[in-house]
Structure 1
Amino acid sequence: MGETTATFRQVRDDPRRLRAVTLFLAVACGLAVANLYYSQPILSQLAAAFGTSQGETALVVTVTQIGYALGLLLIVPLGDLVANRRLAVCLVSGAAIALVAAGVAPSLSVFMVAALVVGTTSTVAQVLVPFAAHLAPPGREGAVVGRVMSGLLLGILLARTTSSLVAAALSWRWVYGLSAALMIVVVLTAMKVLPERRPAAGPNYPALIASLLDLLRHEPVLRRRAIYQTLMFGAFSAFWTSIAYELHERHHLSQVAIGLFALVGAGGAAAAPLAGRLGDQGRTRVATGAGLLLATGSMLLALVADRSVIALAVAGLLLDFGVQTTMILGQREIYTTRPESRARMNAVYLASMFAGGAIGSALAGAIYQAHGWSGVAIFAALLPLVAFAHWLWPRAAREAPVGPTSQVAE
């Protein structure tokens, strides 16, 4: 397994050290993944700054997620091949440089190139999550990963609020400059506190990337969970890409108010440790179905109660709770299926998820311009409903794990 250094074993076997490293991993993941979402609530400011349309500016979200998907497929698998700490430090350093470029971009095209690199390098979060799973004592993978994912998900949810408040108080350019500074702090801290984990000798890089397709072909649990999360994250991205326009144009909320609205989603982070514990208890299938239905119901609420900002906030909270529940359960399930390939399994799973997010955000921009909020809400409700229909499929039930530590039956 490559866990040969004394430092790694000491951290894993010492509860106090494990808690400290887990906390750092949670914070680092949150700060890294937040880079993907800073643009969402300030799209109107970006459009004004660059003199572009809302539809064109909304593509920033899509480009960032495409970069993330590329990083997941081409960089994250290296976690099964090279020293994890070194890989993490390189990625975070690259993110800092790209964030500076975004902050000083003179045009939308330059900003999009920087956003593509920001998305690619922010995949460091998905190098660190499998790292946390390796650190976890046997039987506690769900709990440890859940804690780290709580930080990651808080980063996703608080990024919008932070971006809105900083942009309102200073400028949208400061959003990216401050994030670059935080990335430098993460680099320095990682070099000091992260234990080194050197994976066992394995295939070379081309063979490693080629093995991604083999995993997808031979692991039914990976295919199933990828389908669920692709559709769920498509709905998530459609909602959060369009809601800033809706709140600004229909409800006349200020940039600060839009940022405060985004805070409601932070409550959904509570789903991460809860979902991890449910997975450890063998309740993955039932909790997954509940998460899919919750996401569908939340978007129906956003459709029928769109005149109420409070109702839209509740819908956002419920959607985030459902999306995070299925994501954590999916990660736990694939991590326990083939532990020696966690980085690659995670790469395929999350690349599918962010591809769904990129498509969802791109379509949402066009749907909002053509059909308004009701069109976006219907679109976002249909995606998890399709996933739930797949969940009901008898074969999906046969493939689901039946106990806390069982392997997936094929």
Structure 2
Amino acid sequence: MNRRLTLLLSLTCGVAVGNIYFPQAIVPLIAAGLDTSPGSASLAVTATQAGYTAGMFLLVPLGDRLRHRPYLVVLLCLTGAGLLAAGCAPSLPVLVAASALVGLTTVAAQIVGPLAAGLVADERRGAVIGTLLSGSIGGMLLARTFSGTLGEWLSWRAPYLAAASVVLVLAAVLSRTLPSTTPSTSRPYPSLLAEPLRLLLAERALRRSCVYQATVFAGFSAVWTAVALLLTGPAYGLGAESVGLLALVGAATMLATPRAGRLVDRHGPDRMTAACVVAVLTSAAVLLPGTLGAAPGLAALIAGTLLLDVAMQSGMVANQSRVYAIDANARSRLNTAYMTCAYLGGTAGSWLGAHAYVTAGWPGVCGLLATLATTALTYHGATRRRQFSEARPCHPSDSAVS
């Protein structure tokens, strides 16, 4: 894991993750271009995330069985084909189907994470994960800005076609530069598919990370799905590029996640997780005045989304550090269980966020975020009480009573 390889893997994460998020900024443009409602056009976002969740379950476990270089190249080529199909889609059903294919295959970041975790010492794992996550965050932020601006200038199809070109170029680069690796298992595919569920049932630390990230990521996805509708609606009347510009505020997250990784290495994941969930709950209150419009509302959206982004991504560093430490020989399968749960939450959050906005406006979206964060905090408190109870030494009087 020299610096050059770290940067290349970080770029791979950014490109792969960007494919999931850039459609969020162009939902209004898709609706206008295909003559449908914004709620229907948001199905492209939901389909991408649902496909990504399926890819977690079906494809990521193969990272323990296949050599990483050819596997990553094939996945990126399939993603490029899906993006080309989406950019040329003549109707919403075709776009939704192509978006599902893109989501299914753009799981390169989840192959790269376990790969990198196996190439570094335990005491540096959090820092490296934080660096890779910075690449993912950069891809997510730049993708929204890029798609909103390019879509406003040209059409909603342009971001899909441009993303396809970037993905295919990256596939060519990786085919020549990624080092060769040895698979950690030779288990048959059906056994690999069953293993994440077995690990989820057997490993309490894995279940904890799944619950934390699924609830927080659901709130994150709800906010970013609804904010495009808010900014392009009557309260602000802005164009699609405004969503991308708002996302750029989260660039500070790229600086926060390496720092979060070092804190996790030093203090462990539990304290970081709790702090991040509290920050998510706080962000719901900060975001609420966003419904006011004009400068005060925009200031609330900037501050609230920045706090939410930093909290969600820093929590991701803590949770992945916890997950990768469980079993060095099953990191892809562990990551499959963890990220599948996380993106099931994200998929549900996108759907709930769009419907909460249609039903109750922006306050409904903030209420949804607060409810999800409170659920995570309640679970964290119950988990800590159970740990304390199990760690407490048995008092002699207890034995006498029993």
Does structure 2 retain, via aligned residues, the 8 Å contact 1:242–1:368? yes
C-alpha displacement at 1:382, in angstroms?
A: 1.1
Does structure 1 retain, via aligned residues, the 8 Å contact 2:288–2:300? no
Counterpart in the other structure of 1:317: 306
The 5 A counterparts of 1:256-267 are 256-267=241-252
Does 1:371 find its partner at 2:356? no
Counterpart in the other structure of 2:399: none
Does 1:172 find its partner at 2:172? no
Counterpart in the other structure of 1:195: 179
Does 1:34 find its partner at 2:23? no
- Alpha-carbon separation, structure 1, partners of 2:156 and 2:250: 21
- Alpha-carbon separation, structure 1, partners of 2:126 and 2:198: 25
Counterpart in the other structure of 1:282: 267
Does 1:121 find its partner at 2:110? no
Query: Given the alignment, which residue of 254, 268, 273 partners 2:258?
Result: 273
Change (3 A) 1:217 1:272: same
- Alpha-carbon separation, structure 1, partners of 2:211 and 2:256: 20
TM-score, normalization: structure 1? 0.91
Does 1:182 find its partner at 2:174? no
Does structure 2 retain, via aligned residues, the 8 Å contact 1:98–1:114? yes
Amino acid at match of 1:158: L
Query: Given the alignment, which residue of 290, 297, 300 partners 2:285?
Result: 300
Does structure 2 retain, via aligned residues, the 8 Å contact 1:270–1:321? no
Counterpart in the other structure of 2:332: 343
C-alpha displacement at 1:306, in angstroms?
A: 3.2
Greater gyration radius: 2
Instruction: Give SS of 2:267's match.
Output: coil
RMSD: 1.5
C-alpha displacement at 1:364, in angstroms?
A: 1.3
Instruction: Give SS of 1:105's match.
Output: coil
CA offset digits 1:289-348 (Å, max 9, x no partner): 110010111011111453210111110000001100111110011101111110011111
Query: Given the alignment, which residue of 74, 83, 89 partners 1:105?
Result: 89
Amino acid at match of 1:53: S
- Alpha-carbon separation, structure 2, partners of 1:109 and 1:394: 43
Does structure 1 retain, via aligned residues, the 8 Å contact 2:19–2:143? yes
C-alpha displacement at 1:112, in angstroms?
A: 0.5
- Alpha-carbon separation, structure 2, partners of 1:259 and 1:366: 22
Does structure 2 retain, via aligned residues, the 8 Å contact 1:390–1:396? no
Query: Given the alignment, which residue of 201, 213, 220 partners 1:236?
Result: 220
Counterpart in the other structure of 1:22: 6
Counterpart in the other structure of 2:351: 362
Does structure 2 retain, via aligned residues, the 8 Å contact 1:224–1:396? no
C-alpha displacement at 1:109, in angstroms?
A: 0.3
Does structure 1 retain, via aligned residues, the 8 Å contact 2:134–2:253? no
Counterpart in the other structure of 1:8: none
Counterpart in the other structure of 2:210: 226
Does structure 1 retain, via aligned residues, the 8 Å contact 2:28–2:232? no
Does structure 2 retain, via aligned residues, the 8 Å contact 1:81–1:200? yes
Worse-superposed segment, 198-207 or 85-94: 198-207
Does 1:380 find its partner at 2:369? yes
Does structure 2 retain, via aligned residues, the 8 Å contact 1:298–1:319? yes
The 5 A counterparts of 1:18-97 are 18-97=2-81
Unaligned runs of 5+ in 1: 1-11, 13-17, 403-410
Unaligned runs of 5+ in 2: 392-402
- Alpha-carbon separation, structure 2, partners of 1:279 and 1:113: 39
C-alpha displacement at 1:391, in angstroms?
A: 1.0
- Alpha-carbon separation, structure 2, partners of 1:392 and 1:138: 28
Does structure 1 retain, via aligned residues, the 8 Å contact 2:184–2:329? no
How many residues were matched structurally? Answer: 384
CA offset digits 1:5-37 (Å, max 9, x no partner): xxxxxxx4xxxxx11001000011101110111
Does 1:217 find its partner at 2:206? no
Instruction: Give SS of 2:42's match.
Output: helix
Counterpart in the other structure of 1:135: 119
Amino acid at match of 2:277: L
- Alpha-carbon separation, structure 2, partners of 1:396 and 1:357: 28
TM-score, normalization: structure 2? 0.93
Amino acid at match of 2:86: A
- Alpha-carbon separation, structure 2, partners of 1:396 and 1:235: 25
- Alpha-carbon separation, structure 2, partners of 1:397 and 1:58: 41
Q: Percent identity?
A: 38
Amino acid at match of 1:335: Y
Query: Given the alignment, which residue of 247, 252, 255 partners 2:237?
Result: 252
- Alpha-carbon separation, structure 2, partners of 1:398 and 1:157: 38
Instruction: Give SS of 1:35's match.
Output: helix
- Alpha-carbon separation, structure 2, partners of 1:376 and 1:282: 33
Worse-superposed segment, 92-101 or 57-66: 57-66
Amino acid at match of 1:251: Y
